[in-house]
Structure 1
Amino acid sequence: MTSWSARTAIAAARHARGQALIWLLGTLVACAAILYGVFNTAQITVAKQRTVNAADAGALAGATVQARVLNLAAYNNRAMMANEAFLIQMLSIESWLQYFGTTADNFGTLAELIGVFVPPVEAIGQFLDKMGDVADKIHDGLAKANNLIIKAIELEKKAIYAAHTVVIKAGGLLAEDAASKIVEANRTQWGTHEDIGVEIDKRPGVRAATFGLNEKDWLAFTTSYTGNKRTDAKEILLNSRDRFSADRPGAWWTNLNLGLVGTEKRGGSQLKGFDRWETQDTLEVWEKVPCKSGMCKEYQPIGWGRSNADKNGGNGDVWEPNRAAQKFAYEQAESHSGWSGVPNVYDIKDKSAKARPALGIDFIVATRRVRTATLTTHQMGIGLDVGANTGGADMAERLEADQYTAIGKARVFFERPQRGLANDFTARGLWRDDSAKEYGSLFSPYWQARLADLTPAEKIGLMTSMGMVPDKALYTPGGQR
């Protein structure tokens, strides 16, 4: 028989049955809410990071393409200058061969005359005559070769200039295409399903603030230098000559000074204006003779040679000091036609000292990912409020302009490695011999790309065009300066 206390305990237990289930259900609801929150937060964070990564990758890809276009132009400009330097070398050799031939002929004739009285000297004269004939034949062959070289160089530099015009004009479009493809590569596909993913923001206002400004800045960064604007190209061409082409004073024995008699050798090349090469070599013997001022040098020509190149094949000008040797060289010059002059080139438009330290160009990309592209509990229909008095577990994400947005910016800049940089062991072959700081141009292929921060003005303008409240530029990442 059960006692009263026992019956009371059993009744109490029966009365409390099911209360643990209520606590369990409450706990499960709380856990579900936390799970939904963690899941949604993770999905939103991943979506945001993918959008940011796509913007940065797209901006860097576009800037890299622009840097490569500039480097391509620099390599081609250097190639044109190398070809022009080769031409002046060939013209200088042609001039020197003619000079050698006339010198050998004149010395040979003199030796043969002396040989009438001193027979052994006659053999020397005959040898010099043969050397002169050989030099003349080589000179004639080289003159024909130089005509072909000029034609080849002219075809090449016209082709390179035309290619530069096309590539530089299209450089902005090439960069935009690279950025778009990189952004598209962030999309995921499996089977027949394709994730909407991240895309370039192509709304008109945004495109005007990104692609429009990118294209404008790109086209304004370089310009074509033709006619009298080829000053820099001319200077580079002159500095590209080797020592033989630039100045040929001759050996010591061609510049003797024995007091009353001596010899003087002159030679080198001159670029007259932008459209004429003149190369010349002369050898003179001098003697001092009485004159009104005392003793003066009187010069006699021994050897001469000259080679010119311009559009029409003219002889050019008589060089100083305008004595008989220089006049003979002018009159007997080998003149080549068809050379159009210093090449037309594309180079940096703003070459001012103020622009040099920060020389470069920016490339901006804006990306977006629509809210519906991110798989959250709201998109999957979990916990939606169906009008029940108890409410629901719907956790709809609230996004500015109902999308995830990001802005990426990259900078195209010029930097040639300098000697002595800390921990830099890979750029030894790129160091300048003079250790000087080199500024950007389209004659050196050291253009690079890197990510850069937005300016506050850029960020405000872009956020406005993307349908966002611009005051968020003050407290969102990027653009704080």
Structure 2
Amino acid sequence: MSNLERQKGQILVLGMLLATVLSLAWLRYFATGQVTAGKARLVHGLDAAAYSGALVQARTLNLLSYVNRAQLAHQLAMGHLMTLGSWAHFGGVEADRLLQGNPPAHLIGLLFGADHGRAYLSAANAVGLQAQAQPAGGLGHAWAQHDAFVHGHLRDVATMLVRGLPRARLAAMQTVLQVHYPELAGDSLVPQVSADAWPGRVRSRPPDAGYLRFVRTLAARYSFLAPRNQTVRNSWPVDARCPTLRHELRRRGATDLNPSGRWQSGDTQSFHAVRSNRWIGCYYREYPMGWAWMPASEGGQGLGDYAEEAPKNFSEQDFWRWVEEATQWDLVGGDANPLANSYAVQSRPVWPSRGLAAYEELSSTAGDEEVTAASRFEVRLSIPGADGRMLHARSAAESYFSRPSRRRDGRLEVANLFRPYWLARLAPGLPGPS
């Protein structure tokens, strides 16, 4: 047998060995590809879940912003209601004074013009309107509903949102993962949340002086809540001993948020006639035409000068003598309606009020570490791979505050819970093994 014949078939052995090596390499490559594909699928799914969790978080922060804004809207509505109550009471009283002819409508028209005369006569349409300003009246009932809503329902909604966010966020992430892995059981798709900045991120804060100024600033935008002051002077001289004094028609009114965070409103109108005698000389005799005082408490603070025991009429005592004996009013240089104020305090209806409600704000600190404008969290998830080995992935996401456009004043607006400008995004992962 020749050497060539003896060597036949040896290449087959080498070929088989090479085929075995290639098969093993291919199997290894295939297994590695499966692991890589499984890991990529897990990372993409967890990123989508984390983003969805941050989106739920951003929507919660935006909803808290709307709750705070709703609080403000209700407080402004209550200021308007308080003003309406004052006007209703004032109108009803003025109707009564008109019917009594004290002072008569023709005198007001003669001294201060036809427009004021007609306005006084129109008070006849407000007969009995005081009932609306009572706590059991229509306006008083609406006030009570607003007060109950801001201190009850809105506070409950805010508390529920803050406390329920972790559960709602986790449920959103599980839903996304379940769609991403329809072949796996839901109980195996529970991401582990860590490095969570949400606890302590939002807190409930009682109204303070800054919040009070904020509400007052908003109220100043509404002309309905603006001061209602006007003085009309007759041009005719009255007495040679006081040639500069003239009959006056004084309208006074204001709505305010007092230091305790409660609305109060008052309205008065009086005819001040110039009088004189040999004992005190010239003075103003006040004839109240209408009055109302809607206080935030039982007191009369904020109304101006008044007397608790003012007589209903002065048929048995001179007006000027009573003023000198019982008050410290200035009957010449004063510009208020103190007698009308006194009657307003005596007949005041009181609407129960709990004042401004607490609001939600971002906490500047959580424990001893400063919290940034973004509310961040990290999630981890482990699932079995195709070869039975566990696959691990980690993702991080956050909710952050971003205005859609720059402020008109050019200033930077810090993150807050009064503007619904919260968005979501994936965030860089925190240090540590993935």
TM-score where L is the length of structure 1: 0.65
User: Which of 405, 409, 414 does residue 392 from structure 2 map onto?
Assistant: 405
Give yes or no for the alignment of 1:445 onto 2:398.
no
Unaligned runs of 5+ in 1: 1-7, 203-209, 291-295, 380-401, 420-431, 464-475, 477-481
Q: Distance in 2 between matches of 1:346 and 1:124?
A: 48
Q: Distance in 1 between matches of 2:129 and 2:402?
A: 46
User: Which of 181, 192, 198 does residue 187 from structure 1 map onto?
Assistant: 181
Give yes or no for the alignment of 1:238 onto 2:216.
yes
Match of 2:123 in 1: 132
Shift of 1:88: 0.9
User: Which of 361, 382, 386 does residue 374 from structure 1 map onto?
Assistant: 386
Unaligned runs of 5+ in 2: 236-243, 277-281, 307-328, 330-335
CA contact (8 A) 2:174 2:186 kept: no
Match of 2:266 in 1: 280
CA contact (8 A) 2:66 2:418 kept: yes
User: Aligned runs of 1:410-421 on 2, under 5 Å?
Assistant: 410-419=397-406
Greater Cα offset, 104-113 or 328-337:
104-113
- 1:414–1:274 distance in 2 versus 1, CA, 3 Å: farther
- 1:360–1:265 distance in 2 versus 1, CA, 3 Å: farther
Give yes or no for the alignment of 1:325 onto 2:304.
no
Alignment root-mean-square deviation, CA: 4.2
User: Which of 325, 333, 336 does residue 350 from structure 2 map onto?
Assistant: 336
The structure whose Rg is larger is 1
Query: May I ask how many residue pairs the two structures share in their alignment?
Result: 380
Q: Deviations over 1:278-298 (max 9, x none)?
A: 1123446779999xxxxx996
Q: Distance in 2 between matches of 1:19 and 1:91?
A: 108
- 1:174–1:188 distance in 2 versus 1, CA, 3 Å: closer
CA contact (8 A) 2:257 2:264 kept: yes
- Bigger helix share: 1
Give yes or no for the alignment of 1:153 onto 2:146.
yes
CA contact (8 A) 2:271 2:289 kept: no
Q: Distance in 2 between matches of 1:197 and 1:96?
A: 63
Q: In the alignment, residue 308 of structure 1 is paired with which amino acid?
A: M
Q: In the alignment, residue 151 of structure 1 is paired with which amino acid?
A: A
CA contact (8 A) 1:414 1:447 kept: yes
Shift of 1:256: 6.6
Give yes or no for the alignment of 1:63 onto 2:54.
yes
Q: Distance in 2 between matches of 1:407 and 1:435?
A: 39
User: Aligned runs of 1:79-228 on 2, under 5 Å?
Assistant: 79-99=70-90, 105=97, 109-112=102-105, 114=107, 130-141=121-132, 143=134, 144-157=137-150, 158-189=152-183, 194=184, 199-200=189-190, 210-211=193-194, 213-214=195-196, 217-226=197-206
Q: Distance in 2 between matches of 1:32 and 1:256?
A: 111
Q: Deviations over 1:329-367 (max 9, x none)?
A: 342554333221101222222299xx9994232111111
Shift of 1:136: 4.2
CA contact (8 A) 2:34 2:386 kept: yes
CA contact (8 A) 2:374 2:399 kept: yes
- 1:152–1:124 distance in 2 versus 1, CA, 3 Å: closer
TM-score where L is the length of structure 2: 0.71
Q: In the alignment, residue 148 of structure 1 is paired with which amino acid?
A: H
SS at match of 1:219: coil
CA contact (8 A) 1:186 1:198 kept: no
SS at match of 2:349: strand
Q: Deviations over 1:38-72 (max 9, x none)?
A: 32232121122123223323322222222222222
Q: Distance in 2 between matches of 1:435 and 1:139?
A: 49
Q: Distance in 1 between matches of 2:31 and 2:354?
A: 69
Match of 1:426 in 2: none
CA contact (8 A) 2:92 2:128 kept: no
Shift of 1:31: 3.6
Q: Deviations over 1:194-231 (max 9, x none)?
A: 489974466xxxxxxx44x52xx4231122223xx444
**How many percent of aligned residue pairs carry the same amino acid?**
19
Match of 2:373 in 1: 359
- 1:47–1:122 distance in 2 versus 1, CA, 3 Å: closer
- 1:443–1:299 distance in 2 versus 1, CA, 3 Å: farther
- 1:436–1:320 distance in 2 versus 1, CA, 3 Å: farther
Shift of 1:452: 1.0
CA contact (8 A) 2:271 2:287 kept: yes
Q: In the alignment, residue 341 of structure 1 is paired with which amino acid?
A: G
Match of 1:29 in 2: 20
- 1:195–1:186 distance in 2 versus 1, CA, 3 Å: same
Q: Distance in 2 between matches of 1:155 and 1:124?
A: 40
SS at match of 2:180: coil
Q: Distance in 2 between matches of 1:196 and 1:86?
A: 48
Match of 2:360 in 1: 346
Q: Distance in 1 between matches of 2:42 and 2:234?
A: 80
User: Which of 61, 68, 73 does residue 77 from structure 1 map onto?
Assistant: 68
CA contact (8 A) 1:188 1:197 kept: no
Q: In the alignment, residue 300 of structure 2 is paired with which amino acid?
A: G
Q: Distance in 2 between matches of 1:450 and 1:256?
A: 66
Q: Distance in 2 between matches of 1:271 and 1:334?
A: 17
SS at match of 2:199: helix
SS at match of 1:218: coil
